[in-house]
Structure 1
């Protein structure tokens, strides 16, 4: 796998990765009918550093973006979003992106990472984040309208990026 910054040339392939996840409506609080242009504008917004993961054949199998979680007094805490292609799940793509994102965040001067809205029913993500040192620091009861499960909890997860 190769992780590199996303470029404008990746637009169609990146949209093809993002749109099935957005349309499924199971892990991101985004409009399920979001256009490809809107999805790319969201994912690759100017305040975000967007990356893609290519497999050995050059296919984009994952992407993440990283930004400051808050402005001003909270700008030392990073926030990120991750997407893995369905066919690439279980191959270590998410773990590789997470590790890369932690290093990139540290290089940018972030001292911690916070996820504001992890869908509790997304147990693969919750388990991965916990295995990588994230703690659940908050639970928002019924905060996410899951298309199949109804209202499910959203989790706030946090981890330090500083060696203590």
Structure 2
């Protein structure tokens, strides 16, 4: 479920109010989420709060390749060229991110996933399902409005990973202190992504006509601006 990144050359630092939320809600923010795909495969979503150095480098290299491939497809992200590996690490994992992995007990490696779940020697192509980050959409006085970028790995498309990560996003974003979520550029012809956000209670709050030149369309494609209030709102999934 790719979503759209903002300008990767810009950096917004963590505002003090969100740093306080991170500290006060640390046990909940750092606790992995266990769930299942629609096929019944058990999945754990691991929060990443200590930057890219806390992750296996083999995992980061795999996700960078997946991200670069998605950019090269030219259908879901606005950039025409993928960013380098070092820039990707800081951009994606520099503030707060989540990585979705198949449970080790399901693959037979361990009975209970622990620190070994993020070991260097896992087969990421088979066991890593996707990742997303959360960060402020605007600086300063508007930094309580968040944005997110999503990446579903190529081998697990159409298995419900996008919905699992979308629900996890709505779990973590309020704990991080965010009050509202905005996705700036969701291309209208990315039907699967639009449906996920609609099911999770997001609304289309704006439209940018002819915003994108995409590889899967001969015509310019409109971009939707999608938003959701994160305060005192339950996640209600429409069937």
Same fold (TM over 0.5): yes
> CA contact under 8 A between 1:66 and 1:80: conserved in structure 2?
yes
Contact persistence 1:24–1:32 (CA under 8 A): no
Pair 1:24 & 2:47 matched: no
Q: TM-score if structure 2 supplies the norm length?
A: 0.63
Judge conservation of contact 1:116–1:156 (CA < 8 Å) in 2: yes
1:51 to 67, 79, 98: 98
Mark the CA change 1:71 to 1:113 in structure 2 (over 3 Å): closer, same or farther.
Answer: same
Which residue of structure 2 lines up, in the alignment, with residue 11 of structure 1? 60
Supply the RMSD in Å over aligned alpha carbons: 1.8
1:117 aligns with 2:166: no
1:67 aligns with 2:135: yes
**Higher RCO (C-alpha under 8 Å, 6+ residues apart):** 2
- SS of the equivalent of 1:162 reads coil
Alignment match of 1:2 (pick from 26, 44, 49): 44
Structure 2 residues not aligned, in runs of 5+: 1-42, 49-53, 108-121, 234-239
Cα distance in structure 1, aligned partners of 2:78 and 2:191: 16
User: Equivalent residue of 1:146, what SS?
Assistant: coil
Displacement of 1:34 in angstroms is: 3.5
Count of aligned positions: 162
CA radius of gyration, larger in: 2
1:86-101 superposed matches below 5 A: 86-101=154-169
For structure 1, the 5+ residue unaligned runs are none
2:207 is the alignment partner of 1:155: no
User: How far apart are residue 2 of structure 1 and its match?
Assistant: 1.1
Describe the superposition over 1:112-135 as per-residue Cα deviations: whole angstroms up to 9, x where unpaired: 111001111101001110111111
2:153 aligned partner: 85
* Cα displacement (A) at 1:94: 1.0
Find the residue that maps to 2:207 and give its secondary structure.
strand
